[in-house]
Amino acid sequence: MFALTIDQRLSRRGDDLVPELLGLLGGVRTVLPFERTVGDEVQGLPADGRAALDALLIVLRDGRWSAGLGIGAVEHPLPASVRAARGPALLDARDAVERAKGAGPVRVSVASSSAPDLAAEVEALIGLIGTMVLRRTSTQWVVVDAVDASATQRAAAETLGVTPQNVSQTLTASAIGVERAGYPVLVRLLEEADAS
């Protein structure tokens, strides 16, 4: 299973961002939903590798969090709340989030007691994807979001009031295609680590 522990950066100097994050994570498929566990920390059990990636992309794009992904067993039967859940995946997530706090700009770490080599590969790929997410400008995000919400790039261009060429050039500069090409590889590695 996958356990994700997310901790707000610089929480003593800023607003409580947990309610906003929980709203963003509400659409992620989970075994146990994300919830505030203590203070400015959020934890949940994503349903599978793709759901874990979806949650990490939300956290990365927001940029105000450190995240630790644990991959391994969770004791069954599952409780009603993630706060009562136990098992190696949750312990690994705790270790990973502490390591992520001291990491570079991406601030995501991955740990798995049962598959440490695969966890290291997952972390490396998340680091590459996270670097692209963090380097994307707000203008590039506007175009990416418009294209995602439209049937075609031309329709997105009309919505934005720009030319289709502008949309195409911005998408290329954003490297969103390169980033998303890595998603299936990352999901496969996550599922392999989970199966170990």
Same domain, 87 and 168: no
Same domain, 34 and 76: yes
Whose tokens are 């934005």? That residue is: 160
pLDDT of residue 11: 60
Please, which residues have CB within 8 angstroms of residue 121's CB and are 6 or more apart in sequence? 189
pLDDT of residue 38: 85
Same domain, 88 and 144: no
Domain boundaries, position 146 = 138-174
Neighbours of 74 (CB within 10 A): 20
Boundary residue ending a domain (80, 115, 150): 115
Q: Characterize the bridge pairing of strands 65-71 and 108-111.
A: parallel
Q: Is residue 192 part of a domain?
A: no
Same domain, 82 and 153: no
Summarize pLDDT for 95-121 with one digit per residue, the tens. Answer: 999 999 987 889 999 999 999 999 999
Q: Which residues of 88-126 are buried (b: 16+ CB within 10 A; e: fewer)?
A: bbbebbbbbbebbeebeebbbbbbbebbeebbebbbebb
Report field, pTM of the whole predicted structure over 0.75: yes
Same domain, 144 and 111: no
Structure tokens at 72: 């391994």
Q: Is residue 29 part of a domain?
A: yes
H-run or E-run covering 51: helix 49-62
How many domains would you assign to the chain?
2
Same domain, 83 and 23: yes
pLDDT of residue 123: 96
Q: Alpha-carbon distance 147 to 168, whole Å?
A: 10
The gap from C-alpha 170 to its chain's centroid, in whole angstroms, comes to: 23
Neighbours of 143 (CB within 10 A): 25
One-character DSSP codes across 84-143: G--SHHHHHHHHHHHHHHTSSTT-EEEE-SS-HHHHHHHHHHHHHHHHHHHH--HHHHHH
Give the CATH number of the domain where residue 46 resides. 3.30.70.270
Burial class, 69, CB count within 10 angstroms (exposed 0-12 / middle 13-18 / buried 19+)? buried
Same domain, 106 and 156: no
Q: What is the pLDDT along the chain (196 residues), one digit of tens a residue?
A: 999 999 998 666 668 889 999 999 999 999 999 999 988 899 999 999 999 999 999 999 998 999 999 999 999 999 999 999 999 999 999 999 999 998 788 999 999 999 999 999 999 999 999 999 999 999 999 999 999 999 999 999 999 999 999 999 999 999 999 999 999 999 999 999 999 8
